[in-house]
Structure 1
Amino acid sequence: MTFDLKRRLAAEALGTALLVATVVGSGIMADRLSDDGAVSLLGNTVATGAILVVLITIFGPISGAHFNPVVTMVFAAGRKIEAFAAMLYAAAQIAGGVAGTLMAHAMFDLPLLQVSETVRTGAGQWLAEAVATFGLVLTILMALRFRTEAIPSLVGLYITAAYWFTASTSFANPAVAVARALSNTFSGIRPTDVPGFIVAEVIGALVAATLTGWMLAERNTATSTTTVKGTE
């Protein structure tokens, strides 16, 4: 079933809103329930990985469940989505992410409008974001070729792991980075640090797309087939 652009954009906005509400909301909840940073991060991780499985499963058939401008960028580069639609996807994702942050604040009776003061910058953080986004895009593109039905669980599991093996806790998503800059809570990021994250995420996504394209290129068997026929 093919859905029109309006419905696809609604799915992208709603899905990203629910994703960010989960990231920010679970961070607030975890921080309130525990003074142990590791325990708080674990709670944040489990909630994020779980919601990704749900959101990709239910919205995937409608919009592709990108929820991420760099994922949309990669699909646009591969001509799997038109450039104009891709720009609207990114706008919907960012708007949805901001709405998700506001929703989380409202649920926990916090001021709706905030600016994060959490410092996340430096070479290690940028490398971590490039690696996190590289792995995410690699997972999606490989799964699209070999295990499409497993994409929701694979993405959820990858992000769950990346929360812990990357120094940045794996934002891997410009829309999420922008939205989290508007939350001075456990999951926040200082606005001045967002551009560095976005650049790293774009680089990681492009490297993953390039490498995957090379690895999955169809092998030309014309020469070997001709040789065999010629010896018959």
Structure 2
Amino acid sequence: MDFLHHHFTRTKNRAFSGPRFYARFHVAWLKFEKYYQLTEQAPVYVADILLHPALRKSYLSEQWKRNPAWVSNAVKAVRKIWSTEYKIYELLDKQEEKGQELDEFDRWRQKVYSTASEVKDEFDRFIYGSQVGIGQQTALQWWLEPTQRENFPLLCRMAIDIFCIPPMSTEAERIFSGARRQVRWDRSSMSAKMVEASLSIRSVPLTSYASASFFNGDMYLRLADTLRAASGCVFGTVLMLMYIRMPA
């Protein structure tokens, strides 16, 4: 979107050279401007920028410097997603730790670590951090690295979810339509959860972001656990391996 805005702005002066070209340019500009104004209302679009290691908040501040209110509102909207959907895992982990019996050293270490983490949470620490070039890597591949998972264990979940969102719904529609072929008349007893899990596992190798690091990551294990839970036994793991090797 920002590149298109840059392109339109750069070619605006050339459009005045010919009336026919200007008419077409003006119509295209109005249509683009309509959707560009809506990016403020799409926190996921802004989250994609804020969680990109080479962009972060400094990119937004530069690109939207004429509308500083856009930046503050956008960051606030993404922070709300972070606080309500992902930061809550920190509370759950702490509750689990409280349920365990800790010795004196563990209690001291827990106090020191919690004090250090309260200085700035993962979201603020990342978006206000320095931009990092990732070369030919995608942002998703960068977040799948073990180093990032160590530094940002909770924010990493959010980033992977954001960057796994497909740019178009074509693939999602294809998988959805595949459910019709999945549940044949002789397999009508399959539960909805089982169908969802098996289709999810089956679609992983077909996506553009599938890689060795992806299959070794937490998301792969979560899919395996989901399928195993849906089947109610270890047979789910066997099904998972079968579906990964089956053609679409």
TM-score w.r.t. length of structure 2:
0.28
State the structure with more CA Rg. 2
Ranked by relative contact order (alpha carbons within 8 Å, sequence separation 6 or more), the top structure is: 1
